[in-house]
Amino acid sequence: MAEFWEEAFKDKKEMWGSSPAKSTILTNDFFVEKNIQNILIPGIGYGRNAKIFRDNGISVTGIEISQTAIDLAHEHFGNDVIIHHGSVTEMPFDNKLFDGIFCYGLIYLLDQEERKKLIQDCFNQLSENGHMVFTAITKDAQTFGQGTQISTDRYEMFGGVKIFFYDKETIEKEFGRFGLFEITEVIEDYPFYLIKCTKKE
């Protein structure tokens, strides 16, 4: 996986542009409303979804598998953003607790055990009354059912990318015991679910 993303970033540099995703804007509004002070972004990439949080006074820490993407992020942010180099499957990288966690466009690239571990690890790094927000691609995506099926609702396509497609039942199953309180639909390049959880005392 690391080699795939290194090649992707080298070929396309800032492949998704510099503007934040729609889900990021919605999450930023939610975090500001909840007075979130610091967040963790697993899969931070080159930081396009980090800037809006920083602009609102939120401290950002990231995790990123691609050194090329980290180098690009440092070009934008200097050393103001701490980014751990490694896979989200190797979490946690430290024992810091965060008010918020934002995981965009990542969880559906993992297999079942990796998804389970990521959700648990993120929840473990939330402070009491903290909030975590995930985006997950839905079965309404045109790509659902394409490529080679490798397990239930999971397909390999785009030259080796493995994608798991979510429905609300799966979200309830995977996030239900982690303070799940809201599922909304957001149209990005693909139809996404915006999944919100909170860690109650």
| Per-residue model confidence (pLDDT) at position 142 | 94
- What confidence score (pLDDT) does residue 186 get? 97
Which tops the pLDDT comparison, 158 or 97? Answer: 97
pLDDT of residue 3: 54
What distance in Å separates the CA atoms of residue 100 and residue 148, rounded to the nearest whole number?
35
Indicate whether 106 pLDDT > 80: yes
Tokens of 17: 């542009």
Average pLDDT over residues 10-35: 81
Residue 159 pLDDT class (50, 70, 90 cuts): confident
Taking residues 52-79, report their average pLDDT.
91
In which band, very low, low, confident or very high, does the pLDDT at 4 lie, cut at 50, 70 and 90?
A: very low
Residue 58, pLDDT above cutoff 70:
yes
pLDDT of residue 20: 92
CATH code given to domain 2-13+20-139+166-198: 3.40.50.150
Which carries the bigger pLDDT value, residue 101 or residue 76?
Answer: 101
* Pair 171, 133: CB distance under 8 Å: no
Locate the domains of the chain by residue range: 2-13+20-139+166-198
- pLDDT (0 to 100) of residue 5: 41
The answer to whether 70 touches 85, Cβ cutoff 8 Å, is yes
Q: Please state the rounded mean pLDDT for residues 174-193.
A: 96
Separation between Cα atoms, residue 44 and residue 39, nearest integer Å: 11
Q: Please write the tens of the pLDDT for every residue from 141-155.
A: 999 999 999 999 999
The confidence score (pLDDT) of residue 1 equals: 52
Nearest CA among 194, 23, 31 for reference residue 126: 31
- Taking alpha carbons only, the member of 198, 172, 187, 64 closest to residue 137 is 187
* For residue 88, pLDDT beyond 90: yes
The CA-atom distances, in angstroms, between 123 and each of 50, 85, 178 are 20, 20, 7
Other beta carbons within 10 Å of 158:
12
Kindly tell me if the per-residue pLDDT of 127 is higher than 90: yes
169 neighbors 197 (Cβ within 8 angstroms): no
Is it the case that residue 191 has pLDDT exceeding 50? yes
Cα–Cα distance measured from residue 109 to residue 137, given in angstroms and rounded to the nearest whole number: 10
